[in-house]
Amino acid sequence: MGPIENRDNPLISELNNPAIEPICRQFAELRYQLMPYTYTLTWQARDTGMPLMRAMWLHYPDDKIARSLGSQYLWGPDLLIAPVFKQGAIARDVYLPQGQWYDWWTNEIKTGGQTVTRPVNISKIPIYVRAGAIIPFDPVRQYTSQKVDQPTTIKVYRGADGQFTLYEDDGISLDYLKGKAIWTKMTWDDSAKRLTIEPAAPEGATNQPSDRTFTVKLLPDGTTKNVNYTGKKVEVSF
């Protein structure tokens, strides 16, 4: 038997710290808001073996700089995460591959193929979104099965064509093994400024009934449109 791992108790001064609690809440809420995106990644992992947390080279194999990086990663194909490791850091260098990238927090656009320096603090770590990304974003929940009244927002990041297939099941049963789920394909045509939403069940599966409202939000300008999706192809133009 190996030695027991030594763990220091947290400092009393850091427990129930009113300066830290809002930051913890912010990231906990972000986790729930990104649940449709992350849940889809878990389906991709099961279906294809592609991990949720991805090394840069998986999507940018021809980029010599991206291939050499071990201090930043992709969450799925569209979100670039650069963790902050140094205590008291006020800035973080982040390498952005070719293309246009949006700062998650400010929607400021950066041109890829370069390293940028992003100011940081304990409430903001660098997160960048690839232009052309389609990110489903839910209202805040307190737990995964909590029902919410507001619709899922579909964030569309202009600057390139994009595609995302949203996966949903009941989250409880094993019916997904029988092909009982909802696959919703979303395709962004950047030149036409048009989002197409349509069913996309894979071979051997059948899309379950769907009747819902999506709020489509075009970034960086923030224009929104509500669309009723009943499981049939629909187009949203801006």
pLDDT tens-digit map of 206-230? 889 999 999 999 999 999 999 999 9
* CATH number (domain holding residue 79): 2.60.40.1180
Same domain, 106 and 141: no
Bond prior to 220 in cis (omega within 30° of 0): yes
Same domain, 22 and 124: yes
Same domain, 138 and 183: yes
Same domain, 100 and 117: yes
pLDDT digits (tens, 9 = 90+) for 49-103: 999 999 999 999 999 999 999 999 999 999 999 999 998 999 999 999 999 999 9
The pLDDT assigned to 3 comes to 56
Number of domains in the chain: 2
Residue 9 resides in a domain: no
Please report, for residues 56, 95, 107, the alpha-carbon distance to residue 111 in angstroms, rounded to integers and kept in the order given.
17, 11, 13
pTM score = 0.91
Burial tier of 119 (Cβ tally within 10 Å: 0-12, 13-18, 19+): exposed
Is residue 83 within 8 Å of residue 71, measured between CB atoms?
Answer: yes
Boundary of a domain, candidates 95, 130, 165? 130
Question: How high does pLDDT run on average in the chain?
Answer: 93
The pLDDT assigned to 204 comes to 84
Same domain, 122 and 161: no
Please give the residue range of the domain that contains residue 227. 134-237
